[in-house]
Amino acid sequence: MKIVFVINNLYTVGNGLSKSVRRTIQALREKGMEVRVLSAGQSDSGEKPFYQLKNETIPVFAGVISKQGYKFAKTDKRIIEQAVSWADIIHLEEPFALEIAVCKIADKQKKPCVATYHLHPENLFASVYLERSKWFNYMTMLVWRNTVFNHCRMIQCPTENVRQRLERWRFQAELRVISNGITAESCNPVVRKHSKTGTIHILSVGRFSREKDQDTLLNAMKYIKQADRIQLHFAGKGPTEHHLKKKAAFLYHAGILKKKPVFGFYSQEKLRELFAVSDLYIHSAIVEVEGMSCMEAVCTGIVPIIATGKLAATSQFTDNENSLYPAGDAKTLAARIDYWIEHPAERIAEAQKYIGIEKRYLFENTIRQTIRMYEDTCSIYRSGMKRVEENIENRNGGI
């Protein structure tokens, strides 16, 4: 099977979408699939996509887009036609201008498309303070649906939360819930290192951006009874980093926190060292399609506290009410943190429940389900084309 992945830039760093696609492509090749990529950019090692596009610069928003870990490609009809002509199936990873152009050419060449739904409109607009704008988000979803997703036979929905939203929007494609997946290596046990000084280590992993809402975790420190015991760790990078560091410094210098919060962009090895010392993991995102960074942390044996909301799918990883709070509610988050600090024996016992829960989301299952999605799409497409040809023959025979 010949598959073309379409993504604006496969090689961006700090972007979970690109990382997920690179991992999927490698796994499919290991399964014997022929995979090529239509994309702009190249890796630090010099690797280039088979069908390479030029980078696109968007005036005014270029800085914000870059800080979010995104890059866009210029559409090139000639190169797109080459990619589509070669493919048996096209896998779209975004709903932007490049994918719109690919859909038009795929329709002309009668090639089937599938897509993965990686982000909500609100993910885009949060950086420019428009995530609550019903008009902008409604119109964006309408455009995405009509110009990209409705041209696909099937759509991979990372969570049931996403599937239900697309169903409410009456997407025409078949909607399949397939997790982005977590690798077995990411789930290796860690040797836990509990603090001997009484320090409570709290970890938050994710891009520093408004929709990830690390602000609420910092705001919660003002309401916590034992804030002087807390050591905050923020792992990531992004456009709100300066703002978050400034707010964290204020809490420290005001004496609310006795230990200065630590910020960093870490390797997987360093992250696992943080997992080993962390007592609580906070996932505060108000807009989240899946939240695999949360899974990577908690499956090593950390109690999570996760924001809930209609666009926050990460709450699927726990059903303990003491580990859930309404997104953006700093006081309730503080109360949840206080609870787990005040009940250390219960916290340690609760943490054990999360070890092994990643088995439902293992990446090897994701690849198997993805290949099945390709096979079913091609089978349905061939059946449909055969019926079209038979109808044409019948009409011609009747003339």
106-124: per-residue pLDDT in tens? 999 999 999 999 999 998 8
Q: pLDDT tens for residues 134-173?
A: 898 999 999 999 999 999 999 999 999 999 999 999 999 9
Longest dimension (CA), the chain: 90
Tell me the CB-side half-sphere exposure of residue 215, using CA atoms within 13 A: 13
pLDDT tens, position by position, 309-368: 999 999 999 999 999 999 999 999 999 999 999 999 999 999 999 998 888 899 999 999
Strands 200-205 and 280-283: parallel
Q: Give the span between the Cα atoms of 399 and 281, in whole angstroms.
A: 71
Give the integer Cα–Cα distance in Å for 137 and 143. Answer: 10
User: What mean pLDDT comes out for the span 21-47?
Assistant: 94
CA distance 227 to 213: 19
Q: Provide, rounded to the nearest whole percent, the portion of the chain with pLDDT above 70.
A: 92
Residue 217 clears pLDDT 90, i.e. is over it: yes
Read off the amino acid at residue 67: K
Residue 399 has pLDDT above 50, yes or no: no
pLDDT at residue 398, as a whole number:
43
More confident residue, 43 or 37: 37
Q: What is the mean pLDDT of residues 246-255?
A: 98
Question: Is the per-residue pLDDT at 88 higher than 90?
Answer: yes
Q: Distance between terminal CA atoms of the chain? A: 39
Sheet holding 174-177, edge to edge: 51-53, 34-40, 2-9, 89-92, 113-116, 154-157, 174-177
Kindly report, residue by residue over 164-201, the tens digit of the pLDDT.
999 999 999 999 999 999 988 888 878 888 888 899 99
